[in-house]
Amino acid sequence: MSTDRLPPLPDDALTAEQRAVAERIVAGPRGRLGGPFVPVLHSPQAAEHLQALGAYLRFGCGLPARVFELAVLLVARHRDQGFEWAHHEPLARAAGLPDEVIAAIAADERPTGLTDAEVAAYDLVTEALRGNDVAQRTYERAVAQFGERGVVELVVTAGYYTTLAMVMNLARTPVPPGAPVLPARNRDERGRPCPPPRTGCTTRCTAPVRSRCSSCPASAARPGAGTG
């Protein structure tokens, strides 16, 4: 991948509005201006609103730290965002997410060993990221764990970090040297990420899109399998 498209603006190139926003970010709980806020600062009003939302979600909302970081890692994996992964993988470990859970998410596989709350969060965020709907059962299980407010904040968290991931992918924000590396995913012949294997598969999908999972026993048993 090529170099950073939107590197830090020189101090003498900042407008008064950009400088004020940058100073508020540094003075806040983050303590520094980095990552997504380097490119977002090109739009200071967007940076102002995003940093306020992010500060609330990360430092003020009531989601358990493990659940919050689980959601962020799912977004980073879904969007193949290296900086987001590099920054939040250590935070997820510090919050108590087991190494095997983090490794499974990095491999785009469903982790085992999650708590009931984490399973509910995993399913909710995964369905929200991969489709345009969340199943009623998934929604009800999440509400039972987090309440309606918590479910909204969990999905807003996924949406917020999706926005940051898209900005950093656009900017090609570099991963700091020595930071945890998000492994590349298997891709089809068009360069698109292959989906995780369906239940019953023993290997990851490497088939072309039109014949995806055609060798999977679970999908072969269903009418029309392997054509999606």
Q: Say how far apart CA 164 and CA 53 lie, in whole Å.
A: 12
Residue 193, classed as helix, strand or coil, is strand
What's the pLDDT score for residue 64?
96
pLDDT at 193: 61
pLDDT over 90, % of the chain: 77
Residue that the structure tokens 């995806």 belong to: 212
Classify 31 in phi/psi space as left (phi over 0), alpha (psi -120 to 50) or beta.
Answer: left
At residue 198, does pLDDT exceed 80?
no
Give the model's confidence band at 197: pLDDT under 50 very low, under 70 low, under 90 confident, else very high: low
**What's CA 143's distance to the chain center, in Å?**
21
**How much is the pLDDT for 125?**
98
Other beta carbons within 10 Å of 65:
14
| Residues 138-168 pLDDT 10s | 999 999 999 999 999 999 999 999 999 999 9
**What number is the average pLDDT over the span 21-36?**
94
DSSP assignments along 135-154, one per residue: -HHHHHHHHHHHHHHHHHHH
pLDDT exceeds 90 at position 75: yes
Is-contact 218 199, C-beta < 8 A? yes
Q: What is the pLDDT of residues 105-144, one digit of tens each?
A: 999 999 999 999 999 999 999 999 998 899 999 999 999 9
Residue spans per domain, the chain: 1-185, 187-228
Query: Alpha-carbon distance 107 to 158, whole Å?
Result: 19
pLDDT-derived band at 187 (thresholds 50, 70, 90) equals low
Q: Give how far Cα 50 sits from Cα of 24, 46, 120, 218, Å.
A: 12, 6, 26, 43
Average pLDDT over residues 78-95: 97
Fold of 1-185: AhpD-like (1.20.1290)
- Give me the count of residues in the chain: 228
Q: What is the pLDDT of residues 34-48, one digit of tens each?
A: 999 999 999 999 999
Alpha-carbon gap, residue 159 to 46, rounded angstroms:
15
Q: Which of 89-98, 194-203, 215-224 has the lowest mean pLDDT?
A: 215-224
Model confidence, pTM = 0.82
**Mean of per-residue pLDDT scores for the chain:** 86
User: Rounded mean pLDDT of 72-89?
Assistant: 97
